[in-house]
């Protein structure tokens, strides 16, 4: 199981939100490159970089931060937030992202997302499958839908998706544990899918349980920033 630390960006700063609420924002570091280097120094190899400004603006905003982190670390970066057009996608890859996550676009412009999957392949394009009460949530979680998340994921697996990041919005930022049942249901429905769990991780025990569940990867954010899980624990543990 891959441990993937997260950096969420607002106005170029490293922040965390609670349940995707922009009014519940905590700034952890004004220089995200310092955070990224600390992750790398701890032995972590991946990074989940989210442009929250972009998610709100529906276009990529914080591409300069991506470019800086890609230039000064060896972290494999997956980037999400605001990637809504061919130009956005091109900029993000040119700035150094190895993978790009599309969630809202897969709902609102399915033809374009399918084209990206066809052109770049399922190894570079990650499906964002965030859910509230098992219904897909989009646009930085500010909008709900009536789309059943399992049907949504199944549809895109059939069209070539190999990876999906799934956040249970109701769990995110609360440090109350991940949505194990959501991921189990996704595994049962799409056994070949590489599922990346996100939201709610509060302890090493949560990570161990996800590892036992044979989840491909897990994104850890607030638990690191709040000191619930140390970088040394993440770097030294054999998952």
Where are the chain's structural domains?
2-236
130 is catalytic: yes
Question: Can you give the pLDDT at residue 191?
Answer: 95
Which one from 53, 88, 130, 172 is the annotated catalytic residue?
130
User: pTM of this prediction?
Assistant: 0.92
Of the listed ranges 63-72, 199-208, 227-236, the one predicted with least confidence: 227-236
Reading the block at residue 51, the tokens are: 């442009």
d(CA 191, CA 40): 31
Q: Which CATH superfamily is domain 2-236 in?
A: Aldolase class I (3.20.20.70)
In the block, residue with structure tokens 């646009």? 139
Mean per-residue pLDDT, 127-133: 92
Q: Label the pairing between strands 21-29 and 217-220.
A: unpaired
Nearest CA among 223, 217, 219 for reference residue 204: 223
- Residue by residue, DSSP assigns 114-142 as HHHHHHH-TTTEEEE--EETTEEEETTTT
8 is catalytic: yes
User: Strand, helix or coil at 78?
Assistant: strand
Sign of torsion, CA 80 81 83 89? negative
User: Strand, helix or coil at 218?
Assistant: strand
Report the share of the chain in percent with pLDDT over 90: 78
d(CA 226, CA 173): 10
Report the share of the chain in percent with pLDDT over 70: 96
pLDDT digits (tens, 9 = 90+) for 16-52: 887 778 888 899 999 999 999 999 999 999 999 999 9
- Residue by residue, DSSP assigns 185-214 as HHHHH-TTSEEEEES---SHHHHHHHHHTT
Mean per-residue pLDDT, 203-211: 96
Q: How far is CA 26 from the centre of its chain?
A: 18
End-to-end CA distance of the chain: 6
Which one from 8, 51, 53, 78 is the annotated catalytic residue?
8
Nearest CA among 68, 71, 106 for reference residue 89: 106
């Amino acid at each position: 199981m891959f441990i993937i630390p997260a950096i969420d960006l607002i106005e170029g700063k490293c922040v965390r939100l609670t349940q995707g609420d922009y009014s519940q924002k905590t700034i952890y570091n004004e220089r995200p490159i310092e955070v990224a280097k600390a992750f790398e120094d701890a032995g972590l190899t991946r990074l989940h970089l989210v442009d929250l400004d972009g998610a709100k603006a529906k276009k990529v905003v914080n591409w300069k931060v991506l470019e800086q982190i890609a230039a000064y670390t060896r972290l494999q970066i997956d980037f999400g937030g605001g990637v809504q057009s061919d130009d956005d996608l091109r900029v993000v890859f040119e700035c150094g992202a190895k993978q790009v996550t599309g969630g809202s676009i897969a709902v609102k412009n399915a033809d374009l997302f399918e084209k990206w999957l066809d052109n770049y392949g399922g190894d570079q394009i990650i499906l964002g499958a965030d859910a509230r009460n098992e219904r897909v949530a989009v646009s930085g979680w500010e909008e709900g839908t009536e789309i059943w998340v399992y049907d949504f994921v199944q549809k895109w697996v059939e069209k070539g998706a190999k990876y999906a990041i799934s956040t249970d919005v109701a769990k995110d930022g609360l440090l109350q544990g991940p949505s194990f049942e959501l991921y189990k249901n996704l595994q049962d429905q799409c056994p070949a899918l590489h599922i990346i769990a996100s939201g709610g991780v509060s302890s090493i025990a949560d990570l161990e349980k996800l590892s036992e569940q044979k989840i491909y990867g897990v994104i850890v954010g607030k638990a690191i920033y709040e000191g619930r899980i140390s970088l040394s624990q993440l770097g030294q543990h054999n998952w």
